Structure 1
Amino acid sequence: MDSQNVIEIVGLKKCYTRKEGSSGLKDLLISLRGRTKPEEYWALQGIDLTVKKGSTLGIIGNNGAGKSTLLRMLCGLGQPTKGTIKRRGNLACLLELGAGFSPEFTGRENVMTTLLLSGLTRSDAMKRLPEIVEFSEISDFIDTAVRTYSSGMWLRLAFSAAICTNPELIVVDEVLAVGDLRFKKKCLDRMLKMKEAGKTIILVSHSMDQIETICDQVLWLENGRIREYGSTAEVVQNYKKRAFAVTLAPSKVAVESSGPVAKFREGAAEMELTRVWLSNEQRQPIDAISPGDPLNVHIEYSPNGLIAEPNFLVGLYREDGIKIYEASTEADNVSVGDVATNGGITLTFSELPLLEGYYYLDVGIFEQNWNRAYVYTSRISAFHVIGHTPGKGVFQPPHRWEANKGDER
């Protein structure tokens, strides 16, 4: 094994045997006697991977892609069906919430057991205990049985016990998805400090923000195979692009669409959206803009009779479903009057200082008093903001820095 490597994986395959409708030992014995053949499920199908010391690797992919199975193999919690795994250095695994904790033991007893199993002497474990309790922020409950803990308290203690053993390699599977925002940030900050200290980190997460913040490289798994492996920026961008396209594929009752638009209709039948499209200042159809560009949202509709002063609503969302902005004709004191024939309305954003990424729109037409929707369509129009922008978040507001020297205020 190369001295610069922490992990070397060659030809890793993992097969689980299952028989649909299996009820346990009886079915297993029947299958062993050859009366029926158990179903084989290959969770991993030939993984070759090298992780260098001090690197931070993110592992992404849809549910069922093989991420958790790979991490379990790395942590020695299962044997490969084929292939080899070599690993060096002491390891901290956070694969499940408090995995290994006994619900009947107190928090203190569980932490001591974890530390002793990690190879620490009792004396060293006792020295580490105060730091762990302080980081977990549950000192008032440390001598209470863990079964009485909330999931957040359980997480705090499990994470604290794992990272405070000063591991050379830490493997984390979606643990940072649980808990309150302040503690998530605290855990993230600790992992960044571990990264700065030269620790090797392997992180599985559905949060691309976490992956982009922590990881130098990313492994994208799909159906148990490596789909892509490379720099974080490139792999995450490709993953987002594909995931966003799948997200926008029609999954509800589809109505007529125009152009690359997926429409999902809900609501009453008095009005229909016949077309929603995006354009630039020249009214040319587009599906991409640069940060700060203007954007026109054109809404075309068809009423089934006389509609009294309907309200139009447009919601702007980031690819992960975070609402960025919502505009309505009522909020902006705009009245379209009564509607009886086909028509259209355009919402113009004079500039959209959005950061690079994928975005989509929800469009709805509501009764005057908002009691019901005539039609509401989710993810009806998508667009891409292209162009590097400094900073993180959703948008880039106009701003400037000014240094004050001496006694200037």
Structure 2
Amino acid sequence: MADEIVIRTVDLSKQFSIRKDKSLKERVLKRGRGRAHAEQFWALREVNLEIASGHTIGLIGPNGSGKSTLLQMITGIITPTAGYVERTGRVAALLNLGAGFHPDLTGRENVYLNASILGLSRKEIDRHFDAIVEFSEIQKFIDTPVKFYSSGMYVRLAFAVAVHVDPDILIIDEVLSVGDEAFQRKCRERIEQFQQQGKTIVLVTHSLEQVQKWCDRAILLVKGDVVAQGDPKDVVARFREMQGPPTDSAPARQRTDVSIAAARALDPDGVAASTFASGSPVSLDLGIASDDALTGWAMRIELRKADGTLAHSMTTSQRGIELPALVGRATVRIDFPALPLAAGNYHADIAVLASTGHVLHDRKQAVRFAIARDCGDGGVVALDPTVRMAEDLAPARTGE
């Protein structure tokens, strides 16, 4: 039934202890003093939620707001300090990279281990095994210990297992951004199939656009409290209002007459594009508009992975670039001779700054683009190390 409640949390709370001992000596000297040297931290406080079947829920909030803790309690990985969770149906979860994988077991062995944990019998796993491996696209490495897998290979296999156990509830905690663009597209298609089948999906992501596109309901967590829930557009707007501009000694207000009117990524031929080869030149074309005279201003550009990881940050003032006074509209071109980034989805956060450094106007995820790369290396920076067998190398010299 579409209105059946499949996840309910009642006064759900979680407290963690943060040890303050800084060394082994301190721990020995303070032995027996109990929790006197531990700080108590509430990750969640009295969270009450009801999630109905057939809905796709976007869980958003700043870092440290308790999103991952909430998902781990819903899935039963950690127990609450107070309150409880009611859950109906089989749950498949992708919480952290490689969660549930044993590093010394092969991909094949981990498929059987994970699928059995999720409730499948040996016969059921046998029946689904070929489809899981085909979906993951790591056939050549299925009998390799997963400790040798790249982050992309981890995600491929984990997602393949999760979607083939026929879950009633699929829970995803910001891991799909690790895969390459082609695999992410495949994942999106499978998620859309789940939605059409009436499955329940709970998604944690830093991509607010993704929440508005995929989800029919959103929940905003801040410092362990639910501060908003409902229509994704309204909840996302509330979150953006709360983020606001950075402050120094006094609150900074954005100017309504200044705007980033347009933004796009260009290839070396000056053509707008959304996918670039790793290491290729990329330009950002930014249209800046100001109704009143704008002097002494600067721009900040932050390149981030889809999960929010900062890849590069710069401001024109730090680089000694002076931008001319502006009235009306002008185009600022940022040329990157090469972007040696690892494969994945990225975006550029753009801001117009006053001479004091205050933000006059900012535009999160103003430009979104993908980096394509043949190898499956993870991380942010694309490196090309060479590998040789030790027999081909001169013996290492020891210090005298």
Quick check: TM above 0.5? yes
| Number of equivalent positions | 314
Question: Which one has a bigger Cα radius of gyration?
Answer: 1
Alignment partners' CA distance in 1, 2:302 and 2:42: 37
For 1:342-381, list aligned pairs within 5 A: 345-349=325-329, 360-361=351-352, 380-381=359-360
Q: 1:82 to 1:147 in 2, by over 3 A?
A: same
Q: 1:123 to 1:11 in 2, by over 3 A?
A: same
Partner of 2:234: 234
2:329 is the counterpart of 1:298: no
Return the offset for 1:3: 7.6
For 1:163-178, list aligned pairs within 5 A: 163-178=163-178
For 1:101-112, list aligned pairs within 5 A: 101-112=101-112
Q: 1:185 to 1:28 in 2, by over 3 A?
A: farther
Return the offset for 1:29: 5.7
Given that residues 221 and 227 in structure 1 are in contact (C-alpha distance below 8 angstroms), is that contact kept between their aligned partners in structure 2? yes
Offset from partner CA, 1:251-307 (integer Å, 9 cap, x none)? xxx9xx99835xxxxxxxxxxxxxxxx7xxxxxx72579999964473335xxxxxx
Return the offset for 1:359: 6.3
Amino acid at match of 2:247: A
Partner of 1:404: none
Alignment partners' CA distance in 2, 1:192 and 1:43: 32
Given that residues 174 and 205 in structure 1 are in contact (C-alpha distance below 8 angstroms), is that contact kept between their aligned partners in structure 2? yes
Alignment partners' CA distance in 1, 2:29 and 2:236: 43
Given that residues 13 and 83 in structure 1 are in contact (C-alpha distance below 8 angstroms), is that contact kept between their aligned partners in structure 2? yes
Amino acid at match of 1:349: R
Offset from partner CA, 1:209-241 (integer Å, 9 cap, x none)? 221222111111111111111110100011122
Return the offset for 1:132: 1.0
Offset from partner CA, 1:303-328 (integer Å, 9 cap, x none)? xxxxxxxxx986788998999xx99x
Amino acid at match of 1:300: T
Given that residues 257 and 291 in structure 2 are in contact (C-alpha distance below 8 angstroms), is that contact kept between their aligned partners in structure 1? no
Return the offset for 1:46: 0.7
2:142 is the counterpart of 1:142: yes
Given that residues 361 and 378 in structure 1 are in contact (C-alpha distance below 8 angstroms), is that contact kept between their aligned partners in structure 2? no
For 1:77-226, list aligned pairs within 5 A: 77-226=77-226
Alignment partners' CA distance in 2, 1:258 and 1:298: 22
Please report the RMSD computed on the Cα atoms of aligned residues, expressed in angstroms: 4.1
Given that residues 31 and 38 in structure 1 are in contact (C-alpha distance below 8 angstroms), is that contact kept between their aligned partners in structure 2? no
Alignment partners' CA distance in 1, 2:52 and 2:15: 27
Alignment partners' CA distance in 2, 1:103 and 1:224: 32
Q: 1:49 to 1:299 in 2, by over 3 A?
A: same
Given that residues 287 and 383 in structure 1 are in contact (C-alpha distance below 8 angstroms), is that contact kept between their aligned partners in structure 2? no
Alignment partners' CA distance in 1, 2:362 and 2:221: 26
For 1:5-44, list aligned pairs within 5 A: 5-21=5-21, 30-32=32-34, 36=36, 38-44=38-44
Aligned sequence identity (%):
33
Given that residues 253 and 359 in structure 2 are in contact (C-alpha distance below 8 angstroms), is that contact kept between their aligned partners in structure 1? no
Return the offset for 1:349: 2.1
Given that residues 298 and 344 in structure 1 are in contact (C-alpha distance below 8 angstroms), is that contact kept between their aligned partners in structure 2? no
Offset from partner CA, 1:326-366 (integer Å, 9 cap, x none)? 99xxxxxxxx9xxxxxx972253289xxxxxx963258xxx
Offset from partner CA, 1:87-120 (integer Å, 9 cap, x none)? 0100101111121111111111111111122221
Q: 2:257 aligns with which of 268, 286, 293?
A: 286
Q: 1:158 to 1:316 in 2, by over 3 A?
A: closer
Offset from partner CA, 1:13-45 (integer Å, 9 cap, x none)? 11112331266886896243x7x3532111111
Task: Find the residue that maps to 2:101 and give its secondary structure.
Answer: coil
Given that residues 6 and 88 in structure 1 are in contact (C-alpha distance below 8 angstroms), is that contact kept between their aligned partners in structure 2? yes
Alignment partners' CA distance in 1, 2:181 and 2:231: 28
Task: Give the structure-1-normalised TM-score.
Answer: 0.66
For 1:303-314, list aligned pairs within 5 A: none
Offset from partner CA, 1:371-401 (integer Å, 9 cap, x none)? xxxxx8866421689xxxxxx9869xxxxxx
Offset from partner CA, 1:137-182 (integer Å, 9 cap, x none)? 1111111111111111111111111111110001111112312222
Return the offset for 1:52: 0.4
Q: 1:382 aligns with which of 343, 355, 361?
A: 361
Given that residues 54 and 199 in structure 1 are in contact (C-alpha distance below 8 angstroms), is that contact kept between their aligned partners in structure 2? yes
> Structure 2 regions of 5+ residues with no counterpart?
263-286, 317-321, 332-348, 369-400
> Structure 1 regions of 5+ residues with no counterpart?
262-277, 279-284, 302-311, 328-335, 337-342, 352-357, 364-375, 386-391, 396-409
Partner of 2:267: none
Amino acid at match of 2:294: I
Task: Find the residue that maps to 2:325 and give its secondary structure.
Answer: strand
Q: 1:290 to 1:39 in 2, by over 3 A?
A: closer
Given that residues 260 and 288 in structure 2 are in contact (C-alpha distance below 8 angstroms), is that contact kept between their aligned partners in structure 1? yes
